[in-house]
């Protein structure tokens, strides 16, 4: 059972991401004839964190579900966290093709993303060829993202931590960084963001996970 | 990455306010533990004092009538001693003992003891209570525990470099905070990422 406040968590984050995309990566206006062609018009939202285990998969899944309800196009959640083993309950765990095959073949053909709900939300796993080194190859990353952009209005990447994102960072349109308020220090987070060298305008914002009990406004809180 | 500016006004105050707000349970726990420890380690020394009273009451019994006065008002724990003294006096039918119970005047136990067995011809001098000169044994521990709890809570809240509020995260990392997620149960997390059935 969701409380009203909890139910608004991801819609708020989704609105922030969409506003950021409108400002920094608007969908190019195209003539009607050209719009029919399957140009890679989709935008890529990368969800990462300064270190592993800060809740980025949870945020990525919630964000994808919220975005699917907040705009008209199809949204796909992609497991791009090649740096860790898949979760036990991952439906793509047993040998199914996924992002790594798209990055290798450059096409969605032959793949069947799983519908994750009655709306426009889809899911795809990492695939059997997933290796952390694959994310360091700009050509493979570009090929995979181009195929996803062509098929979906929004691609939400459940990415590794910032240091393992490799070429994903340079090619995503927006980056959401999850920070665990219980574990991550200011210094570590600053250093990770500095080393990531995100291009200006790529950092959509932060999500503060495991936020402690907030101080009420009448006491001077946020 | 933008250079980190000075903390915004109110951030430090917010963290200070958060100390009792977020750690009220911890502070209360320390105060309680301090109070209990204090009460356990520094109990009222009733039993030894009663033993002091017994020989003095014996002296009253052995003395000629109207010769000795036992002043309990100057004894710590006068109330407990007075009850014991009244009982001994009654049992021995001391007729001339004068019990001064000034500091123990308001003790119900003395009244009960006097009702049950008043000294045969004794004179009990009562005076308005001046209150106890000794605070209850748990109070110093309670205060010390409270201070210790505040200290520990302050260290937890103000120490380290963790980002504990959106304002602080925005200040520290120079990026807007899109959302904040409290610590949720696994069930609540599943409910949140489940796609809406209304779509």
Q: Which residue of A has its CA nearest to B20?
A: A215
| Residue-level pLDDT at B199 | 34
How do residues A164-189 score in pLDDT, each as one tens digit? 999 999 999 999 999 999 888 888 99
**B110 domain-assigned:** yes
Q: Which residue of A has its CA nearest to B176?
A: A205
Residue B62 sits in the same domain as residue B117 = yes
Residue B80 sits in the same domain as residue B144 = no
pLDDT > 90? residue B135? no
| Residue-level pLDDT at A26 | 72
How do residues A75-130 score in pLDDT, each as one tens digit? 999 999 988 877 666 656 566 778 888 888 877 766 666 666 656 888 888 888 88
Domain endpoint, select from B125, B154, B178: B125
Give residue B76's region: left, alpha or beta (phi > 0; psi -120 to 50): beta
Phi, psi of B121, rounded to the nearest 5 degrees: -135, 20
Residue B75 sits in the same domain as residue B111 = yes
Whole-angstrom Cα distance, residue B83 to residue B189? 64
Q: Is B178 in contact with A184 (Cβ distance < 8 A)?
A: no
Q: Is B194 in contact with A210 (Cβ distance < 8 A)?
A: no
- Identify whether the C-beta of residue A105 lies closer than 8 Å to the C-beta of residue A97: no
pLDDT > 90? residue A5? no
**B23 domain-assigned:** yes
Residue B142 sits in the same domain as residue B121 = no
Q: Which residue has the higher pLDDT, B98 or A18?
A: A18
Q: Is B179 in contact with A9 (Cβ distance < 8 A)?
A: yes
Please report, rounded to a whole number, the percentage of residues in chain B having pLDDT higher than 90.
Answer: 13
Q: Is A185 in contact with B175 (Cβ distance < 8 A)?
A: no
The verdict on A23 touching B (C-beta cutoff 8 Å) is: no
When pLDDT is cut at 50, 70 and 90, the band that residue B127 belongs to is very low
Residue B64 sits in the same domain as residue B121 = yes
- Identify whether the C-beta of residue A213 lies closer than 8 Å to the C-beta of residue B24: no
Residue B183 sits in the same domain as residue B153 = yes
Name chain A contacts of B178, Cβ cutoff 8 Å. 12-13, 16-17, 176, 204-207
How do residues B67-111 score in pLDDT, each as one tens digit? 455 555 556 666 666 667 767 766 665 544 555 554 454 566 666
Q: Which range has the top average pLDDT, A35-39, A66-70, A88-92, B75-79?
A: A66-70
Q: What is the mean pLDDT of residues B170-181?
A: 91
Residue B59 sits in the same domain as residue B106 = yes
DSSP β-bridge partners for residue A128: none
In chain B, the number of structural domains is: 2
What's the domain range around B101?
A: 53-125
Residue B67 sits in the same domain as residue B102 = yes
**B199 domain-assigned:** no
Q: What is the mean pLDDT of residues A131-140?
A: 91
| Residues in CB range of B144: below 8 A, 6 or more apart | B34, B38
Please provide the distance, in angstroms rounded to a whole number, between the alpha carbons at the two ends of chain A: 26
Instruction: Point out the least confidently predicted range of A44-48, A69-73, A106-110, B194-198.
Output: B194-198
Domain endpoint, select from B102, B125, B148: B125
Name chain B contacts of A184, Cβ cutoff 8 Å. 162-163
**B167 domain-assigned:** yes
The verdict on A51 touching B (C-beta cutoff 8 Å) is: no
Instruction: Point out the least confidently predicted range of A8-12, A128-132, B59-63, B148-152.
Output: B59-63
Evaluate the CA torsion angle A15, A17, A18, A20 in order and state its sign: positive
Please report, rounded to a whole number, the percentage of residues in chain A having pLDDT higher than 70.
Answer: 81
DSSP β-bridge partners for residue A180: A209
| Residue-level pLDDT at A175 | 95
| Residue-level pLDDT at B96 | 41
**B3 domain-assigned:** no
Please report the residues numbered 107 through 136 in chain A whose beta carbons come closer than 8 angstroms to any beta carbon of chain B: 116-119, 121
Per-chain mean pLDDT for chain B: 70
DSSP state of A94: T
When pLDDT is cut at 50, 70 and 90, the band that residue B23 belongs to is confident
Instruction: Point out the least confidently predicted range of A44-53, A62-71, A128-137, B102-111.
Output: B102-111
| Residue-level pLDDT at B118 | 56
Instruction: Point out the least confidently predicted range of A32-36, A134-138, B177-181, B190-194.
Output: A32-36
**B144 domain-assigned:** yes
Instruction: Point out the least confidently predicted range of A42-46, A151-155, A182-186, B15-19.
Output: B15-19
* pTM reported for the whole predicted model: 0.69
| Residue-level pLDDT at B47 | 47
**B105 domain-assigned:** yes
pLDDT > 50? residue B131? no
pLDDT > 70? residue A38? no
Whole-angstrom Cα distance, residue A190 to residue A196? 10
| Residue-level pLDDT at A156 | 95
**Number of helices and strands (H, E) in chain A?**
8, 7
Q: What is the mean pLDDT of residues A197-206?
A: 88
Domain endpoint, select from B74, B100, B125: B125
When pLDDT is cut at 50, 70 and 90, the band that residue A153 belongs to is very high
Residue B58 sits in the same domain as residue B108 = yes
Nearest Cα neighbor of A63 from A81, A44, A42, A82 is A44
Instruction: Point out the least confidently predicted range of B129-133, B139-143, B148-152.
Output: B129-133
Instruction: Give which of A45, A178, A181 to mutate to test B binding, by max B Cβ within 10 Å.
Output: A181
The verdict on A144 touching B (C-beta cutoff 8 Å) is: no
Q: Which of B10, B17, B195 sits opposite A117 (nearest CB)?
A: B195
pLDDT > 80? residue A1? no
Burial of A28 (0-12, 13-18, 19+ CB in 10 A): exposed
DSSP state of A122: E
**B80 domain-assigned:** yes
Residue B118 sits in the same domain as residue B151 = no
Sorted by where each starts, the structural domains of chain A and their CATH numbers stand as 4-24+40-212 (3.40.50.300)
Q: What is the mean pLDDT of residues A27-54?
A: 73
Q: Which residue has the higher pLDDT, A47 or B44?
A: A47
Residue B64 sits in the same domain as residue B92 = yes
Residue B112 sits in the same domain as residue B148 = no
């Amino acid at each position: 059972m969701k409380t009203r406040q909890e139910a608004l968590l991801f819609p708020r984050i989704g609105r922030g991401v969409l506003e950021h995309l409108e400002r920094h990566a608007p969908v190019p206006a195209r003539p009607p004839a050209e719009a029919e062609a399957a140009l890679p018009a989709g935008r890529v939202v990368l969800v990462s964190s300064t270190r592993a285990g800060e809740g980025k998969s949870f945020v990525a899944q919630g964000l994808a579900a919220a975005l699917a309800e907040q705009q008209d196009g199809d949204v796909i959640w992609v497991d791009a966290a090649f740096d860790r083993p898949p979760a036990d309950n991952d439906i793509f765990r047993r040998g199914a093709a996924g992002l790594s095959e798209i990055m290798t073949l450059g096409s969605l053909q032959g793949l069947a993303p799983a519908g994750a709900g009655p709306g426009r939300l889809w899911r795809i796993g990492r695939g059997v060829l997933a290796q952390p080194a694959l994310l360091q190859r700009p050509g493979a990353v570009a090929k995979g993202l181009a195929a996803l952009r062509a098929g979906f209005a929004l691609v939400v990447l459940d990415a590794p931590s910032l240091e393992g994102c490799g070429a994903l960072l340079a090619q995503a349109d927006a980056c959401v960084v999850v920070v665990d308020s219980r574990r991550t220090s200011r210094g570590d987070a600053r250093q990770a963001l500095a080393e990531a060298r995100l291009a200006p305008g790529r950092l959509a914002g932060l999500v503060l996970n495991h936020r402690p009990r907030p101080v009420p406004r009448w006491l001077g809180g946020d | 990455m933008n250079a980190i500016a000075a903390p915004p006004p109110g951030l430090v105050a917010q963290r200070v306010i958060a100390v009792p707000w977020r750690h009220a349970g911890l502070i209360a726990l320390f105060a309680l533990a301090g109070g209990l420890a204090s009460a356990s380690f520094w109990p009222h020394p009733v039993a030894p004092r009663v033993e002091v009273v017994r020989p003095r009451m014996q002296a009253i019994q052995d003395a000629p009538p109207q010769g000795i006065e036992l002043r309990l008002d100057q004894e710590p724990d006068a109330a407990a001693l007075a009850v014991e003294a009244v009982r001994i006096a009654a049992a021995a039918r001391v007729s001339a003992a004068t019990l001064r119970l000034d500091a123990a005047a308001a003790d119900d136990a003395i009244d009960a003891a006097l009702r049950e067995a008043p000294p045969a011809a004794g004179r009990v001098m009562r005076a308005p209570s001046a209150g106890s000169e000794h605070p209850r044994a748990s109070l110093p521990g309670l205060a010390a525990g409270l201070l210790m709890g505040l200290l520990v809570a302050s260290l937890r809240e103000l120490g380290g470099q963790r980002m504990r509020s959106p304002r602080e995260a925005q200040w520290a990392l120079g990026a807007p905070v899109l959302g904040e997620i409290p610590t949720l149960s696994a069930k609540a997390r599943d409910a949140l990422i489940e796609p809406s059935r209304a779509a």
